[in-house]
Structure 1
């Protein structure tokens, strides 16, 4: 009994214990490529609730990025993040990080490289600018100038914030991808359509059908991206929502935090003047917190013009396809008219031939007439006379049809 118990204990000790994290892997956990503001990137397995806490996004926004589900291209800003779903790019942009979902996709690799280059090229420059600004602030303080004005002048020359640089990388990658597909389709479409106009066959018609299907699909994708950019440009509140760095910097001040540091006379005077300056203070606070959307508006307008140019190329190609279809239909109608004319002419020939057959049938009856007792010249004269009458009747019928416009 003791030996049996010890062997069972050994089997229990040898049984591998699966960690809880391994058992739960695959349930709400996805691999994200995290690109930080400094340009460093790493792969990280993040749970759904964890990414919601880090980005402040609800679950419905994460469903837009689900690769299993099919959602159209969309860009929308939230309190702490910007959700990007453009073509092959599915990412979440915060004020300090970018979360890329399908980073292992070969089509996403150029976008990731471009994003890292943009951030890594700007991060050292911003660090140098901040050190220069600190030195300038110190020099101004030594000269008796207010530090706020020195820092405010430096901020005016700063480059785009991190979220806009990441957004620009997303827009550029999506527009480049759509423009490349459009150029490839143009290179294949124009020769195929020209060949179709010169030679109509099953092969050329099938190629034209495939080209038109691809044209419709690409046009829909480009139109959706254009509509999304146009929607953002038309709504200033949506653009203002995307200023994530501005939201972190422009935090509203709480008067109770510094009220205790004032003396009693200052507090009384502040209470007396509070009602008079409330509206003015609120207006100044709103004007200070409200971000300037000109930077983002110019950024979106640049890519709106680019995507609109791509859509114009597709529209031109669509018009060429429609013109080719009209030309092919005209050619087919002409062929059909020629076949109808041939049918009319054959029917007419059949009619006059039947008239000649009727004459032959009359002479073929078993009835004796005086013509049968004649010489052979009479037989040949009757035969050639019947044929001549058939031909004359045929030409008369064709001439009548042309006179009436029934035949060309």
Structure 2
């Protein structure tokens, strides 16, 4: 009995452990409970917004107050903060970030400028200089910040010629842009001029390669300067934008008419003229490069033609020698002929070979020389035999030739062959004076005078 009871207890304990193990495995295999779909969607949206806000790009800028003092250096702002603080639009900041096209945007409470290395936001009482590409240590931007600080700190009185705060900032921007263009143009112009002068003396492969490199740089600079000039030109053509640039008056509630913008128009026109001069100078330099390239191409073509003519001359000489040696090859065969025993056979054959060689060479060179003469009037030239006359006064044609290149240019009516314009005028005056003298003489002798045309014909026949 005790054995049966022990085995039963052991079986129950084994079944209990096996059930516990199965329950633990099923618990581990069961995935964690998920929250409902609505809660999960809201959680994901919120997490995405937080991540987007944390990853929002920031713009670094330097801020100037109304007195010209720097209030913030390399401060970082989110785009949303700038939009809310300065009343901008998202597309305005996209244009600030872009570096493709220069532009000047006028908004009701701000002026956005993107010109070359400068991205500036001008308000009625503050200026923000953006540093979108981390170029805070650049030389040109450092000079601009120093110049802008000096411009804004100038004490402008309430006189007729005083510039408001926004125009002083705008002038500082334009000065920096034009100075940068002039400095860059001087850096490109000097090597281009030196290469062009060197090419006038000698055409070298290295010089041509340098000219290609500098021409690309000059073309890029010309396009950049042209875009800056066009940006200022577009602003000058918009009267409403020019009137809206008076931010100080707009902040005080003073509105200007569209045609009342003389101050800012004169300011922009002065710097537009500077940019236009730079564009014209760079355009002239590009034209000089193009002309030099055309001259170099013409010289290279002439040299190539000279080499081709030299090759043709050698070919003609080779043809003459081959023609002359043909007879010597014929007589060099081991066959009997009728002059083997003649004492003059060798000399006669040799003279004949040399004569044939000379004739072929002379004829070929003459043909080549004739082909070298490039004429606009065909092979006969102006004074050739295949000339036709222009229509006479009666309208009749002397002859007709379909090949216009063979037609000659006859002198104008009333001119003699080979007579120039000055000689013709002098001859006509002399004939008129002679006709007048003859008319006076005949009038004194009571003889009816002849016409000037008849007098001219008589003088020509005489």
TM-score category (smaller protein): 0.7 to 0.9
> Match of 2:61?
32
Paired residues in the alignment total 320
1:67-86 to 2 correspondences below 5 Å: 69-86=98-115
Distance 1:33 1:294 in 2: 30
Alignment match of 1:394 (pick from 347, 361, 367)? 361
Distance 2:228 2:113 in 1: 11
Name whichever structure is richer in helix by fraction: 1
Decide whether aligned partners of structure 1 residues 291 and 312 sit closer, same or farther in structure 2, where only a CA change above 3 A counts. closer
1:138-149 to 2 correspondences below 5 Å: none
> Match of 2:136?
104
Alignment match of 1:293 (pick from 244, 261, 265)? 261
- Tell whether the 8 Å contact from 2:196 to 2:289 is kept in structure 1 after alignment: yes
**Partner SS for 2:179:** helix
> Match of 2:394?
none
**How high is the TM-score relative to the length of structure 1?**
0.72
Alignment match of 2:288 (pick from 308, 317, 320)? 320
C-alpha deviations, 1:296-336, integer Å up to 9, x for none?
01100110111111111112112211221221122122112
Distance 2:166 2:259 in 1: 14
- Superposed displacement of residue 371, structure 1: 2.7
**How high is the TM-score relative to the length of structure 2?**
0.64
> What's the RMSD between the two structures over aligned residues?
2.6
Alignment match of 2:350 (pick from 367, 372, 383)? 383
Is the aligned partner of 1:182 residue 2:185? yes
Distance 2:120 2:267 in 1: 19
Alignment match of 2:246 (pick from 218, 221, 243)? 243
Is the aligned partner of 1:205 residue 2:204? no
C-alpha deviations, 1:174-202, integer Å up to 9, x for none?
11111111122221111101212322222
> Match of 1:6?
none
- Superposed displacement of residue 391, structure 1: 2.6
- Superposed displacement of residue 347, structure 1: 2.1
Distance 1:86 1:58 in 2: 19
Alignment match of 1:225 (pick from 228, 232, 237)? 228
C-alpha deviations, 1:346-385, integer Å up to 9, x for none?
221222122123212211222112333344x643553354
Larger radius of gyration: 2
Unmatched runs of 5 consecutive residues or more in structure 2:
1-49, 376-462
> Match of 2:398?
none
Distance 1:364 1:58 in 2: 100
Decide whether aligned partners of structure 1 residues 70 and 39 sit closer, same or farther in structure 2, where only a CA change above 3 A counts. closer
**Partner SS for 2:114:** strand
